[in-house]
Amino acid sequence: MKTVPPSGIRRFFDLVSEIDDVISLGVGEPDYVTPWHIREACIHSLEQGETSYTSNFGLIELREEVSRLYTRKHGVYYDPGTEILVTTGVSEALDLAIRTVVNPGDEVIVVQPSYVAYIPSIIFAGGVPVSVSTKMENDFKLTPKELESAITDRTKAVIINYPNNPTGATMDRGDLEAIADVIVEHDLLMISDEVYECLTYEGTHTCFSSLDGMRERTILLNGFSKAYAMTGFRMAYALAPPEIISSMMLIHQYTMMCAPITAQIGAIEALKNGEAEMQKMIREYDRRRHLIVKGLNDIGFDCFKPKGAFYAFPSIPDTGLSSDEFAERLLNEEQVVTIPGSVFGETGEGFLRCAYAASRNDIKEALERMDRFLGRL
Amino acid sequence: MDKQTRDILEILGEDARVSHAEIATLANMSEKDVTGTIQQLEKAKIIRRYKTVIDWELAGEEYIYAIIELKVRLERKEGYQAIAERLYKFPEVRSVRLLSGEHDISITVRGNSMKQVAFFVAEKIGTLDQVYSTATHFVLKTYKEDGLILDEPEQVKRLPVTP
């Protein structure tokens, strides 16, 4: 356990709690309250006395809704009875997936910059994380060559996350097909974290298991936090072939038992009736995306145009400061919270993650403060 | 409707004072195209006008609102249009709607006192030939108007950094 440091984001959390008048571009969660119809469905269920455990797999009605969603949207069928597991957040699903497929000493490839939980989860499971760096000049996409270079005889699985946290990069069908070829060639598994799926602003999202031959090799993770502004509900699911789901379910059964029923009922409502409100939020994120990327580039950052999620990942102008020092001084001197890119892996050094799940006024104010800060450096 | 037109309408619908330059950034268009599109929308009367939502009560103006339901007698040929026109020409009348159900027309009247509104309804509305009954309901408090919640809007309670 001592080899795993606490999350670098956590350190900023502690710093921020001591400062007033803070504008936060540090939050990886929507700045919307969960749509009322979803909350209302949860309230109603509580009034009706729906307060019990559910099946370990999750409510069958929810699994059926998820199954229908994937058939309709991606043309991939998952059996609600044996191939869908409802979890408390993608975080749990990720942990279950890794513990299920990784034997001690197995290598798992992590595509960086990446979400902070992947590497610790691999280490907790006794696996060995192997990082692959994506590059800004490739729009932070994973190339087959980069992937190949990290594969050894011990490689068991690859974790990808597109649309990506922290870069906002997406990969289109062609890009993913090239990766799928490598997966087949080396007989690997893919853990695909697609929690930002719905937040795709350009092009359409391709679900990894919809690629030829990939359904049997993919553990697909998705959830409700980002798309439906339901972070605190901790609602997600894993989709995979029955033999993998049954093993994940075994761990889940003895550690979590089941996801909270109220949250599951909210998730059913979200899938049945949440499309319009979700699209409205996404249209607004898209506007903020243009606003923040233009703003960052105007004040001297070099910012890649993200195509998904709600993060801009600008490269910091050369000031001699590390991204950690830059973010900490920006917080102390101008009270703007951003997350240093180094938190997301070595390759994130020199970058800053700015979440644009913040009001337009806050984004504009933050840009002004950042401009002032850069002027002083 | 294309995405950019929808963007323009949603942005202006929320805040009519956003500059064309900012709309251009938000909708990823040139400022010239924004101005052109807005002119077309105005010409096509899709954008009817730009309006300010004012809390008159907070400003110290004591306006009284009443919703009045009318049953009307229709005249041959003219249908409801004639009575609607008679009604909406009064500046005191803030809205006029044709309804299904028990009543035919609902209007909203604004005045400075209950007495003034009551007299207006009795003298100007109740005496119209086509109107044969009125039911007046004074508004005691407005919680939400045209999609806008008038209490303090709900804020998301989130931590400044994801833990």
- A15 and A63 in one domain? no
The better pLDDT of the pair B76, A169 is held by A169
Least confident of A207-211, B55-59, B99-103: B55-59
Helix (H, G, I), strand (E, B) or coil at B146: coil
- Give the pLDDT score at A18: 79
pLDDT single digits (tens) B115-160: 999 999 999 999 998 999 999 999 998 888 888 887 777 778 888 7
- A306 and A266 in one domain? no
Which residue in chain B has the smallest CA separation from A16? Answer: B160
- Give the pLDDT score at B46: 96
- Give the pLDDT score at B23: 97
* A196 neighbors A300 (Cβ within 8 angstroms): no
Helix (H, G, I), strand (E, B) or coil at B80: coil
How far does A358 lie from chain B, in Å, by closest CA? 11
Instruction: Label residue A290 by pLDDT band (50, 70, 90).
Output: very high
CB of A290 within 8 Å of a chain B CB? The answer is yes
ipTM for this prediction: 0.76
Task: Give Cβ neighbours of residue A372 (< 8 Å, ≥ 6 apart).
Answer: A334
Q: Across all residues in chain A, what is the average pLDDT?
A: 95
How far does A221 lie from chain B, in Å, by closest CA? 20
Tell me the chain B residues in contact with residue A287 when contact means C-beta distances shorter than 8 Å.
7, 11, 26-27
Tell me the chain A residues in contact with residue B26 when contact means C-beta distances shorter than 8 Å.
287-288, 290-291, 360
How far does A286 lie from chain B, in Å, by closest CA? 8
Domain span at residue A322 reads 8-34+276-376
Task: Inform me whether the pLDDT recorded for A6 exceeds 90.
Answer: no
CB of A35 within 8 Å of a chain B CB? The answer is no
- Give the pLDDT score at A293: 97
| Phi-psi domain of B112 (left: phi exceeds 0; alpha: psi -120 through 50; beta: other) | alpha
- A330 and A270 in one domain? no
Return d(Cα B86, Cα B74) in angstroms, integer: 13
Look up the CATH number of the domain holding residue A361.
3.90.1150.10
Percent with pLDDT over 90 in chain A: 92
| Domain count for chain A | 2
- A372 and A297 in one domain? yes
* A182 lies in some domain: yes
- A202 and A116 in one domain? yes
Task: Inform me whether the pLDDT recorded for B75 exceeds 80.
Answer: no
Task: Give Cβ neighbours of residue B103 (< 8 Å, ≥ 6 apart).
Answer: B69, B70, B71, B135
CB of A31 within 8 Å of a chain B CB? The answer is yes
B160–A27 C-beta distance less than 8 A: yes
- Give the pLDDT score at A186: 98
Domain ranges of chain B: 3-43, 64-145
Return d(Cα A136, Cα A142) in angstroms, integer: 11
What is chain A's Cα-based Rg? 20
- Give the pLDDT score at B50: 94
| Phi-psi domain of A157 (left: phi exceeds 0; alpha: psi -120 through 50; beta: other) | beta
- Residue B55 DSSP label: -
Least confident of A6-10, A145-149, B11-15, B50-54: A6-10
- Residue A260 DSSP label: -
**Domain end point (choices A225, A240, A274):** A274
Where in chain A does DSSP place strands (E)?
23-24, 84-87, 107-112, 128-133, 155-160, 189-193, 218-223, 236-239, 311-312, 336-337, 339-340, 352-355
Helix (H, G, I), strand (E, B) or coil at A274: coil
A22–B160 C-beta distance less than 8 A: yes
How far does B152 lie from chain A, in Å, by closest CA? 14
Question: Within the 6-35 window of chain B, which residues sit less than 8 Å (CB to CB) from chain A?
Answer: 6-7, 10-11, 22, 25-28
CB of A32 within 8 Å of a chain B CB? The answer is yes
Percent with pLDDT over 90 in chain B: 69
How confident is the model over A346-361, as a mean pLDDT? Answer: 95
- Give the pLDDT score at B28: 94
Which residue in chain A has the smallest CA separation from B157? Answer: A33
- Give the pLDDT score at B163: 59
- A368 and A261 in one domain? no
- A99 and A238 in one domain? yes
pLDDT single digits (tens) B45-61: 999 999 888 888 889 88
- A180 and A58 in one domain? yes
* Disruptive mutation site among A280, A287, A365 for chain B (greatest number of B CBs within 10 Å): A287
Tell me the chain A residues in contact with residue B7 when contact means C-beta distances shorter than 8 Å.
283, 287
Which residue in chain B has the smallest CA separation from A281? Answer: B10
Instruction: Label residue A332 by pLDDT band (50, 70, 90).
Output: very high
**CA-wise closest residue to A343 among A109, A1, A11:** A11
- In terms of DSSP bridges, do strands A155-160 and A107-112 run parallel, antiparallel, or are they unpaired? parallel
- What kind of fold does domain B3-43 have according to CATH? Arc Repressor Mutant, subunit A (1.10.10)
- Give the pLDDT score at A347: 94
* A210 neighbors A76 (Cβ within 8 angstroms): yes
- Give the pLDDT score at B151: 78
How confident is the model over A270-276, as a mean pLDDT? Answer: 96
Return d(Cα B127, Cα B134) in angstroms, integer: 10
Q: Which of B10, B25, B159 sits opposite A283 (nearest CB)?
A: B10
CB of A256 within 8 Å of a chain B CB? The answer is no
- For the entire predicted model, the pTM comes to 0.88
| Phi-psi domain of A184 (left: phi exceeds 0; alpha: psi -120 through 50; beta: other) | alpha
- A179 and A92 in one domain? yes
Q: Across all residues in chain B, what is the average pLDDT?
A: 91
Helix (H, G, I), strand (E, B) or coil at B34: helix
* A340 lies in some domain: yes
**Domain end point (choices A257, A274, A291):** A274
* B32 neighbors B21 (Cβ within 8 angstroms): no
One CATH from 3.30.70.360, 3.40.50.1820, 3.30.70.20, 3.30.70.920 for B64-145: 3.30.70.920
CB of A366 within 8 Å of a chain B CB? The answer is no
| Continuous segment of H or E residues that includes residue B10 | helix B3-14
**Domain end point (choices A274, A295, A329):** A274
B28–A24 C-beta distance less than 8 A: no
Look up the CATH number of the domain holding residue A174.
3.40.640.10
CB of B104 within 8 Å of a chain A CB? The answer is no
A31–B156 C-beta distance less than 8 A: yes
